[in-house]
Structure 1
């Protein structure tokens, strides 16, 4: 292969694996490699999810070297590298060594388990305390802070770790840890700090960044006294910097990390983003195929158009992202987050804690699951194909037009792992109404179908709340594993009554989004004469001057997608509306029942 062309590497760290993709300037993936990562669970508590930065970095390095080997591309031809990762809390000592966050090891000492995964719900008590403060920081997370965010987790560590060990800890949202590991720079990303760490950008609501009163009120006065250094510091003071998406971090890859990755020292590294936000970057600038034969392409969208596009990044969980030039406050929906990706723009983030995970749970816990697996193996196909075929045969046998009619008397409420949006209530639990004394494969197929319905109905609930507060969602841009589920995609379009834009590759959008950050970092670095950003003021000025270029890179590197239009028949539309009404009523009923049980237990 010619080495005159420049290439970029995107690295995505998901819940269970790390992935690297080597990408051309037009967004074509030349090679991709994936490596599983470890998740440690507790044998006594279902709320514990822990990971390891050592294991994660090793997986990243394996993937990066593999894509170079697969393509024959020389390390010198890699123009830039970008990272995204789950919004998990990584903890190190002051020299960057891993610190155990696990009570199964020696908490606060050197240890492999140094990441509290996003799904870890140990900090419920701490989140409750935070949410009782009435602090202004709560206004910027939809009114209620999730126990999945970083400050509740840090507070949990403060309460459980010996104080002398806690005082030696640095705290990173995982995307920022990866750029620190890659470059040695402590510069943080605005995406991580604003979205997950209770940082309100200076100038918003008279904020200076970190809220001293809030941190002191909840018991983190020591972080205030240290001028927030172990959280990343105050931008513009003592060399601390907060960067917007893709801005070059430090001097690029350090010598040691370059050797680990098989790349060249000094290769530009873009300021990282949370994985769902990389999905937004990798999808919302997509054109889509149109015309009778699909040969025509829609016009390229503008940055202004993006305020009408909801990006749904759907894997184990689902995140719903949309940005606006104005801060829109939506109760139960995180944000608005200023500068989360583009300077001067505000992002809101809705979410479902369990979607892909919920689908798997529905299937694998049903008594007919062994039968399903046996049939799939015998027919050399997937279990989802068997379920789809079973549902279609049931529909024909029942003499109905749609699957919605087939499951019209069966209803699911999907919050088995609590509600992230728009209720922001981790105590919500799932339910099924309409159960029959049936353990057959047909029954499993019906429950699979209502699981998809429930995911779609909850998406509508989130969109309705966003639209009621000022958004105008006109299309949903999908990415992640669930985008391959054509039945769910059509159902989403029918339930939400908006088109769905499917990416060129459902699994690649996130990692290509990170590669875009690598390209942007390379271009900005070149513009700076390959010099590091030296001060916060310089970084902010460069961010505004180059934001349209980041959007142009997104347009250039996003492969055309496919558009799915709403297609519900009048009868199906009526049934889906009735199911949505029942869905909303089930929330009210569960909360009322919860209060009645609480009152009874208290003798009220």
Structure 2
């Protein structure tokens, strides 16, 4: 049994909930994952809905599992940290789930009370918002995504009875979880600033909540109620905390009982899952040089050039700066998203892991691939790698890029999040032949990886052209296990890629770091009851959070760009074609729109 203080990280991803138990060194002692349910609509591919009840049940099971597996006593768990997807959770004023499904059910009590981040039903509402020209839009890259919370809330207002809408509380999912854990309505800077159109005082022209903007788009009732439905105004009827600050008085009696923990255990203010991935990776050291020594211990200022790429169903690209950097089509700059006084920009690809799965599973040879993997007692990705090796030998080349030099794929099957901020973009493929065999599937798999890497280069170039100086990519998530893709990222973007010790655990490790930070702050400062006190303590302890990140991040490894000039030449040509594909699609779309008038 592991001794000393321990910390639990809770991570709610797109399709699962996970809890991990860590010791103070960052060693993962035990972890557990359960799938969560997503409801789709066969008549409308835009719809993605979930349930807070379902997610909470999975979290409780995970926590019981890690305590049982580790043998750690509940009283030795000193802090709990939380992250979750940026999905909209809706309850009534007592915390009871409110149905978000369209039709007569909308607004009634019902399990399906989460509009998932991937839900694209609020297209008209986002268009209305983006037509306002509001100052708020400058802090989301110039265009508000329909994946954010304000368009979703506006959609609900249009489809829910007025009396029921006025009785709702709206949470970004990370904040709902701290509410469920503690009973406190304190919100996180991360959720409000990144997804709810809150621009902190101190940003140019900001008053916090923008009354004119919300009234202009039709949410004047939210303004009249002094933003209570969104968490209130800091310092008057609301409390907003930076990442990991202690929430309320810790675990409520009911939450503690359901989780198997002690009442009053400190809970840290939550972050969106991608930001937990940033926390869990960018302070990491890594082996460098032929002797394998570790890189120098980083300081907070070193975070400026480190882009965290958190890759799962989708991919987020997060970088921090001391001054706000405005990048068209890239979300942010977000002040205080993690560290007080620092700013974040967030690029993103709406579909990456999901895209890879789609391209494989919809191919005619998928059945053959799966059978081969089963027969060889391996996984489909190993079979695809073997197939690509065979194709290279047949072609007399050592280059995967050469194999697909005449196959070009544009990957925005679910719209473009960054840097175009265009939900109407769609995928395209050029170079098709009358081949539906396993070799063709392997080539399309490889070109999908290329497209994901090429789009990452596009995002990085836009960030750098507006003021960032990105010099490395810190990967996390399931895609970081894909060796070929990681080498592609390094080669296409021409920067080293740093892989964490445990890529699939980086996000939940980041959440656990917030649990430790919360426990340390609570021990020094007690409960944070006022906005002034919270802001003072946040500024005083920001270096403490960075040091916890350094101390608890296990060393990783570095993937350097390839030295092959031939591959670089091919990839540069592919990138030029990738950029041309964007302009071609836009011009074709305009031609068809004009012809439809």
State the TM-score, normalized to the length of structure 2: 0.99
1:554 aligned residue (549, 552, 574): 549
Pair 1:465 & 2:477 matched: no
Cα pair 1:20 1:32 within 8 Å, conserved: yes
- Judging changes above 3 Å, is the alpha-carbon distance between structure 1 residues 308 and 2 closer, same or farther for their aligned structure 2 residues? closer
Quote the Cα distance in structure 1 between the aligned partners of 2:211 and 2:46.
30
For residue 474 of structure 2, give the secondary structure of its aligned residue in structure 1.
strand
Structural mapping, 1:169-208, within 5 Å: 169-208=168-207
Partner of 1:52: 51
Q: Name the SS of the counterpart of 1:391 in structure 2.
A: helix
Q: Supply the distance in 1 between the matched residues of 2:545 and 2:116 (Cα, whole angstroms).
A: 30
Q: Deviations over 1:527-586 (max 9, x none)?
A: 01xx31110010000000000000000000000000000014111101100000000000
Alpha-carbon deviations, 1:77-107, whole Å to 9, x = none?
A: 0010000000000000011110000126711
Aligned to 1:263: 261
Give, in whole Å, the separation in 2 of the partners of 1:117 and 1:375: 35
Equivalent pair of 1:287/1:298 in contact (CA under 8 Å): yes
Contact 1:21–1:31 (8 Å) recurs in 2: yes
**2:290 is equivalent to residue 292 of structure 1:** yes
Contact 2:339–2:542, Cα closer than 8 Å, also in 1: yes
State the match for 1:140 in structure 2: 139
Which residue does the alignment assign to 2:422?
Answer: 425
Residues in 1 aligned to 2:205 and 2:235: alpha-carbon distance in whole angstroms = 17
Question: Does the alignment pair 1:301 with 2:308?
Answer: no
Aligned to 1:504: 501
Distance 2:138 2:234 in 1: 22
Report SS of the residue matched to 1:111. Answer: coil
Structure 2 residue 210 is matched with structure 1 residue 215: no
Q: Does 1:519 align with 2:507?
A: no
Q: What is the CA–CA distance in structure 2 between the aligned matches of 1:83 and 1:412, rounded to whole Å?
A: 37
2:156 is aligned to 157
**Secondary structure of 1:48's partner?**
strand
1:434 aligns with 431
In structure 2, the CA distance between the partners of 1:2 and 1:358, relative to structure 1 (3 Å rule), is: closer
Q: What are the residue-to-residue correspondences of 1:160-559 with 2, within 5 Å?
A: 160-238=159-237, 240-294=238-292, 296-528=293-525, 531-559=526-554
What SS does structure 1 have at the residue aligned with 2:91?
strand
Q: Structure 2: 5+ residue runs without aligned partners?
A: none
Q: Structure 1's 251 and 105: CA in aligned 2 closer, same or farther, altered over 3 A?
A: farther
- Structure 1 gaps, min length 5: none
The one-character-per-residue Cα deviations of 1:207-227 (angstroms, maximum 9, x if unpaired) are 221000000000000000000
TM-score, scaled to structure 1: 0.98
Q: What's the CA shift string for 1:5-35, capped at 9, x where partnerless? A: 1000000000000000000001000000001
For the 8 Å contact 2:350–2:414, the answer to whether it is kept is yes
Offset at residue 293 of structure 1 (A):
4.3
Question: How far does residue 500 in structure 1 lie from its aligned partner after superposition?
Answer: 0.2
SS in 2 for 1:46: strand
- Could you tell me whether the CA contact under 8 Å between 1:12 and 1:19 is conserved in 2? yes
> RMSD of aligned C-alpha atoms?
0.8
Q: Which of the residues 577, 580, 584 maps onto 1:582? A: 577
| Aligned 8 A contact 1:105 1:111 in 2 | no
